[in-house]
Amino acid sequence: MLFSGFSKILLGALSLATAGCCTPLSPSSDAACKAIDLALPLGRVNYPDSPTYAQENHYWSNRQTDNIAPACFVAPENTLEVAATMKVLASLNTQFSVKGGGHTAFAGGSNSDGGVTVDLMYLTTLNVSSDRKTVSIGAGNRWINVSEALDTLGLVVAGGRVADVGVSGLILGGGISFFSGMYGWACDNVRNYELVLASGLIVNASPTENEDLFWALRGGGGSSFGIVTRFDMGAYEQPGGNIWHSSLIIPGAANASAIAAYQNLTVNGMPSDNKAHSYMVLTHMDMLGGYAVISDLFHADLPNTADSAHETVPEVFVPFESLPTITKSKSIDNVSTISRAIDVPYGSRQTWWDTTIKATDPSLLIDIVPLWQDHVEKLIAAANGTAVTPYLAYQAIPLNVLKAMEVNGGNALGLKQSDGPLMLIQVAAQWSDSALDELMERSSEGVIGKINDLAKSRGLSHGFVYANYAGNSQSVFESYGADNHAKLKQVAMKWDPEGILRKLWRGYFKL
Ligand SMILES: Cc1cc2nc3c(=O)[nH]c(=O)nc-3n(C[C@H](O)[C@H](O)[C@H](O)COP(=O)(O)OP(=O)(O)OC[C@H]3O[C@@H](n4cnc5c(N)ncnc54)[C@H](O)[C@@H]3O)c2cc1C
């Protein structure tokens, strides 16, 4: 009786939509909410006056909820319910969005103002195969659910690094992991996607089934292809789920030597030791005395158990030992513990923009800093004492990661070994005053433009825009290269020939 009342309402609404002579009426989101409410078991659809709605309209970035109110949230409990929801939305021509973990920075990224937001929060199945090689992950899980389950089994996946981030958005955009040096990005580790197409049909995509869709979902995002309901990911043995971690806070004045060490790690260190992983973030915080560099180093090999102080530093990270530090810590912890420790709390307005440049010249990476600092000074002045924390993040895409991306026919991102090694540069900020939104966006966009210009002038530009750190008007799919962009469009046309998703799924990057 799951769908009792569904057909009746749907048919009623459809005849309403086609009544009259010429232009089909566009039934309101309210009609879709009601139709879905009748189609699904009680309690799946939540309206603005309910406490569950308030819980669902809670996102990592305040910009996703400020003055944004869907007509209802729909929270299906299984794939069939997602399919029923999709059928109503398509039939009633209703604008919608999908919330995985809700960690997009910009307004409307995964919330639909006045439309319907499909919240995947109940799709939290998590099953490890009997041979321990595959983990089937429901699309509503957060990474902490995955790591907590796997740590106890001594397994890991090449998934997200931060606890509360959603599994779905991260994998569908690419997914940088602690284990990317060995296994590529998260999307390179999906063995099978289960998804609901615009037609409501449930299909699987793997290297042996619907291969074109499988390729497209590896970096092509969800919103052009369907709602993914389950990811089957490769699992790997990792005793206790433990990794070695060192966190260094370096005074800002030492940024040139820190960046040079990170560039060397990208070009020489990581390719020679694929168990190493690292990112480096420049910031400005009063509590750190102004500008500072945060350097996080991770290693999947654990030192000898006799080293209880965890002081043994993997060879590849030894150059970081001589950098001056404000604080320095080392630990061996499981992925859950680390991912909680590096989580970024809710409650601020957020933006991020990104680009990719060649990593071969340390001076380019160093010369970016003053471009970002000009922007920071402008933001701090405009904030006029209100909270603002700026970031400039360097994330390596070394040759070993580019090579690991080639498994199973490669992904859609268009990153080639011949272009590498590469450096992903992210300009981000969090702040409190909504009056600063426009400045934050335009100024961040401006720095990215200046970084691209500088890289071009030195023959070191690349231009890949990573969807998961992209500003809302960046040309993400164009940056994958003309061939991949065209192929993604073809795949989307094949699986959604009427362009239902392109028309109705609002707010994220379009092909
Ligand atoms: C604190 C923090 C830490 C981060 N750490 C990392 C990291 O370690 N590595 C990394 O690569 N990135 C990282 N990111 C970026 C992250 O990958 C993106 O923000 C990603 O979009 C988050 O996924 P989500 O499901 O939470 O987001 P959402 O905002 O819910 O979704 C993002 C997009 O995907 C769509 N979508 C969601 N679920 C589905 C689905 N099941 N099917 C189809 N489409 C769907 C949404 O509609 C939206 O368009 C981090 C972000 C934050 C805020």
Note whether 232 and 103 are same-domain residues.
no
The answer as to whether 504 is a domain residue is no
pLDDT of residue 504: 97
Note whether 232 and 325 are same-domain residues.
no
465: CATH: 3.40.462.20
Note whether 253 and 382 are same-domain residues.
yes
SS3 track for 183-251? HCCHHHHEEEEEEECCCCCEEEEECCECHHHHHHHCCCCCCCCCEEEEEEEECEECHHHEEEEEEEEEE
Question: Which is nearest to 215 in space by CA: 1, 405, 497?
Answer: 405
| Mean pLDDT (whole number) for 326-353 | 96
pLDDT of residue 310: 63
The angle that helices 29-39 and 6-18 make with each other, rounded to 10 degrees, is 160
Percent of the chain scoring above 90 in pLDDT: 92
Rounded to the nearest 10 degrees, how much is the dihedral formed by the CA atoms of 74, 77, 83, 88? -30
Q: Which of 145, 162, 164, 243 to mutate to test the pocket of ligand 1 (most atoms within 8 A of CB)?
A: 162
| Mean pLDDT (whole number) for 497-511 | 95
Percent of the chain scoring above 70 in pLDDT: 94
Q: Which of 104, 122, 140 is the last residue of a domain?
A: 122
Task: Report the nearest atom of ligand 1 relative to the CA of 160.
Answer: 8
Q: What angle do CA 430, 434, 438 make, to 5 degrees?
A: 85
Could you tell me the distance, in angstroms and rounded to a whole number, from the CA of residue 125 to the centre of ligand 1? 18
Mean pLDDT of the chain: 93
pLDDT of residue 311: 73
* pLDDT tens-place string over residues 191-210: 999 999 999 999 999 999 99
Q: What angle do CA 426, 394, 365 make, to 5 degrees?
A: 105
Residue 297 has pLDDT above 80, yes or no: yes
* pLDDT tens-place string over residues 427-462: 999 999 999 999 999 999 999 999 999 999 999 999
* C-beta 100 within 6 A of ligand 1: yes
Note whether 56 and 147 are same-domain residues.
no
Instruction: Report the nearest-CA residue for atom 48 of ligand 1.
Output: 110
Task: Report the nearest atom of ligand 1 relative to the CA of 468.
Answer: 18
- Phi and psi at 225, nearest 5°, equal -120, -35
Q: 113: how many CB neighbours lie within 10 A of its CB?
A: 19
Residue 14 has pLDDT above 50, yes or no: no
> Sorting pLDDT into bands at 50, 70 and 90, what band is 24?
very low
How far is Cα 82 from Cα 20, in angstroms, rounded to an integer?
31
The answer as to whether 393 is a domain residue is yes
Note whether 196 and 332 are same-domain residues.
no
Task: Report the nearest atom of ligand 1 relative to the CA of 98.
Answer: 47
Q: Which of 65, 98, 121, 472 to mutate to test the pocket of ligand 1 (most atoms within 8 A of CB)?
A: 98
Residue 26 has pLDDT above 50, yes or no: no
Instruction: Report the nearest-CA residue for atom 53 of ligand 1.
Output: 103
Instruction: Report the nearest-CA residue for atom 15 of ligand 1.
Output: 468
The answer as to whether 507 is a domain residue is no
The answer as to whether 362 is a domain residue is yes
Note whether 71 and 103 are same-domain residues.
yes
Residue 289 has pLDDT above 50, yes or no: yes
Question: Which is nearest to 190 in space by CA: 223, 220, 152, 145?
Answer: 220
How far is Cα 29 from Cα 480, in angstroms, rounded to an integer?
34
The answer as to whether 295 is a domain residue is yes
Note whether 446 and 309 are same-domain residues.
yes
Amino acid in the structure at residue 173: G
Task: Report the nearest atom of ligand 1 relative to the CA of 176.
Answer: 11
How far is Cα 400 from Cα 184, in angstroms, rounded to an integer?
8
Note whether 410 and 289 are same-domain residues.
yes
Going by DSSP bridges, is the β-strand pair 96-99/116-119 parallel, antiparallel, or unpaired? parallel
Number of domains making up the chain: 3
The answer as to whether 466 is a domain residue is yes
How far is Cα 12 from Cα 16, in angstroms, rounded to an integer?
6
Instruction: Report the nearest-CA residue for atom 4 of ligand 1.
Output: 162
* C-beta 172 within 6 A of ligand 1: yes
Q: Which residues lie across from 203 on neighbouring strands?
A: 195
> Sorting pLDDT into bands at 50, 70 and 90, what band is 308?
low
* C-beta 184 within 6 A of ligand 1: no
The answer as to whether 506 is a domain residue is no
Instruction: Report the nearest-CA residue for atom 28 of ligand 1.
Output: 102
- Name the least confident of 173-187, 300-314, 480-494: 300-314
Instruction: Report the nearest-CA residue for atom 47 of ligand 1.
Output: 98
Note whether 233 and 247 are same-domain residues.
no
Instruction: Report the nearest-CA residue for atom 1 of ligand 1.
Output: 344
Q: Dihedral of CA 30/12/120/75: which sign? A: positive
Alpha helices in 65-151 (DSSP H): 79-91, 143-151
Q: Dihedral of CA 8/10/14/16: which sign? A: positive
Note whether 227 and 246 are same-domain residues.
no
Task: Report the nearest atom of ligand 1 relative to the CA of 140.
Answer: 41
Residue 254 has pLDDT above 80, yes or no: yes
pLDDT of residue 303: 76
Buried-exposed string 154-189: b where 16+ CB fall within 10 A, e elsewhere? ebbbbbbbbbbbbbbbbbbbbbbbbbbbbbbbbbbb
Q: Which of 122, 157, 176 is the last residue of a domain?
A: 122
| Mean pLDDT (whole number) for 36-58 | 97
Residue 8 has pLDDT above 60, yes or no: no
Could you tell me the distance, in angstroms and rounded to a whole number, from the CA of residue 169 to the centre of ligand 1? 3
Q: Which of 105, 122, 139 is the last residue of a domain?
A: 122
The tokens for 6 are 């569904």
Note whether 195 and 183 are same-domain residues.
yes
pLDDT of residue 466: 98
| Mean pLDDT (whole number) for 292-321 | 87
The answer as to whether 339 is a domain residue is yes
Buried-exposed string 469-501: b where 16+ CB fall within 10 A, e elsewhere? bbbbebebbebbbeebbebbbebbeebbeeebb
Instruction: Report the nearest-CA residue for atom 45 of ligand 1.
Output: 222
35: CATH: 3.30.465.10
Note whether 22 and 77 are same-domain residues.
yes
Instruction: Report the nearest-CA residue for atom 5 of ligand 1.
Output: 162
Q: Which domain holds residue 20?
A: 6-122
The tokens for 336 are 């859950």
